[in-house]
Amino acid sequence: MSAVNLIGLLPSELEEFALGLGAPRYRGRQLATWMYRKGVVSLDAMSDLSKEFRAQVAEHAVAALPEVEQVTASQDGSRKLVLRLADGHRVSAVLMPDADRITLCLSTQVGCGYACAFCLTGTMGLERNLTAGEIVGQVLLANARLAGEAEGGPRVTHLVFMGMGEPLANYGPVVTALRILTDARLGLGYSPRRITVSTVGLVPAIERLGRENLKVNLAVSLHAASDEVRSRLMPVNRGWNLAALMDALRRYPLAHRQRLFFEYVMLDGVNDSPDDAQRLVRLLRGLRAKVNLIPFNDWPGARFQRPPLPRVLAFQGALLEAGITTTVRWSKGEDIGAACGQLREPVGAFAMARPGERVAGAAG
């Protein structure tokens, strides 16, 4: 029987784990504090645990993180972390500094099964879901890297579930990870308002997430305002069309001052016309919405192009004129294959990166 990975267990589950070893419940809380609050995963470093208890834990469990196989730095300051999982699969997480915030873009699956036409990850198909430990582990690794680079260095301030995979298709582990990340007492203590979960529009999962009372932000990958165009770009639309999706979103519970986010990748001659803008205005009418326009990020073999800047700005202007908060989001990390829609599991071995070391060369 393989050892249980403590990382990814809820604090309550860590308490039950301790009880199962014949130890008091508070020992589980101590494990949670060391791993999640302090970022310490070595049992030997957990100094307030007795040697006997640590030995018991080591017999039945591990605290295992993915392995940082490569770190690639972008000219814009972002960094792509290629992480090797225990079974040899790789995923990417992207650190993106911007003024007073550091955002981490997380992966939730190896590959993706939804085959959006403009997304490189979708060409992989789905290999497997990540565990809650592999999701939380990305945050722990990113924070450890930041702390190792500067004395008392910053930690990740914002989390976006927008890397490889469809988060709501890996529902259970993602929700468990969110509970660990937002646990203010024994978890990592992130405010739900600083976490955004993206989805291609899985209506039943959106409705289910709304009942979890997690209060995290929801971002919907929209990319078209008509069923005809969206079904060509996103096969998921054939299962849950725009009417079904928008109906679910109008019922989605929002906290005070919270908005729904809509991601809209702009594709030259496909979804960027003035008529497309007006259709989007009508679709979002009455919603507390913010639209992020994302000029297409190219990748080898893609059959789309980025629209000219004047057309992007005209599209934005039409939405702003209708009273819809709209930004143009120029993706970070485009030069290293880390921008929105560019992530793909690397093939082949990389030179190992030692802690704190940057490895040159692009992954893709």
User: Where exactly are the structural domains of the chain?
Assistant: 4-62, 67-336
* Dihedral of alpha carbons 339, 188, 41, 109, sign: negative
Tokens matching residue 191:
């405010």
pLDDT in tens, 185-225: 999 999 999 999 999 999 999 999 999 999 999 999 999 99
pLDDT of residue 149: 81
List of the chain residues with pLDDT < 70: 1, 151, 331-364
191 Cβ partners below 8 Å, 6+ apart?
A: 182
pLDDT of residue 334: 52
Helix or strand or coil: residue 282? helix
**C-beta neighbour count of 209 within 10 angstroms:** 23
The answer to whether 92 touches 163, Cβ cutoff 8 Å, is: yes
Single out the residue of 209, 129, 142, 140 nearest to residue 169, CA to CA.
129
pLDDT of residue 359: 27
Single out the residue of 290, 107, 280, 287 nearest to residue 197, CA to CA.
107
- CATH number of the 67-336 domain: 3.20.20.70
Could you please state the CATH topology (level 3) that the domain comprising 4-62 is classified under: DNA polymerase; domain 1 (1.10.150)
pLDDT of residue 352: 32
pLDDT of residue 353: 33
pLDDT of residue 345: 52
pLDDT of residue 333: 45
Helix 171-182 × helix 203-210 angle, to 10°: 30
pLDDT of residue 222: 97
Pairing of strands 90-98, 217-221: unpaired
Q: How far is CA 102 from CA 143, 156, 194, 198, in A?
A: 10, 5, 11, 18
Tokens matching residue 131:
């565990």
The answer to whether 123 touches 108, Cβ cutoff 8 Å, is: no
pLDDT of residue 335: 52
Single out the residue of 75, 69, 30 nearest to residue 48, CA to CA.
30
Stated as kind and residue range, the H or E segment containing 102 is strand 101-105
Q: Do domains 4-62 and 67-336 have the same CATH topology?
A: no
Please give the backbone phi and psi of residue 322, each rounded to the nearest 5 degrees, phi first: -85, 5
Q: Which residue has the tokens 């945050």?
A: 139
